[in-house]
Structure 1
Amino acid sequence: MRLSSMADYAVVTMSAAARHCGGARVSAADLAVETGLPAPTVQKLVSMLSKAGLLRSARGAGGGLQLARPAAAISLADIVEAVEGPIALTSCVQHGRHDCALEGTCNVQPHWAVVNEALRGALANVPLTQLVQMKVPA
């Protein structure tokens, strides 16, 4: 199991934004430079993260981006879901999805909700503050 590149980049972008959390605003262009991500990718992520209520933007002089709530109140699950949608290892537990060849006969399907919730819970227990403070091993 792997995060998509966009989800990974969203975590990188939010971590960079969190380093400016003293109330200072930062531009998407600055976030692109800080992270090494292409500016169009950061713009797309900023849009998704803002729509999810994780970033707030202000236009004009003194404008820019800032976290919509304290970094400690934003989890890895929040960031991943902003880009990927609900966290799930399988799509068969999503209501309205009928794309599994085993639908109706699968004995495991009723248990996936528990597995998905455990995964989401693990990601929800990692606050953005922890990601900002982590040091990269040498």
Structure 2
Amino acid sequence: MTRALQLAGGLDSEVSGYRTGDGALAARPELTAEMAKKLLAAVTGCMQEAVQRGGDSVAARDAALRGWGLEGAGELEDCLGRCCKQAPEDAFLRSWLALYRELARLAEPAEVPVRASPELLRQARRRGPGSSQSSGPGVWDACD
């Protein structure tokens, strides 16, 4: 079991096992709704402070999670998912979770695939590979 969560008294009586990143078997931490709210308040507070300072909010989140005995955002999401299923009517928990997810979304923006406009693709097909307007057809340009 995670030591910080044990000390905080936030573990339910039933814990199931899972494999950690290094393959070791560990107990899966289970949060109560009250402990989840405290955890989310601490984590979002650290992330907001990092944003205010112009720092790395992902690093701040990870440090706060390690302080609570969690390995990372994946383990946090697992715990929160199970906790929200146990207390679906808890509006405060849902609010804290929404704030955390918004901060996490902004901290780790999704990668957007690079796409060329249809006009650029048509021009590239007409000119052929490696050619440019300045060099003439068949001459390769060096790029930095």
In our comparison, the structure showing a higher alpha carbon Rg is 2
TM-score, normalized by length of structure 2? 0.27
TM-score, normalized by length of structure 1? 0.28
Of structures 1 and 2, the one with the larger relative CO (CA 8 A, separation 6+) is 1
**Structure 1 or 2: more helix by fraction:** 2
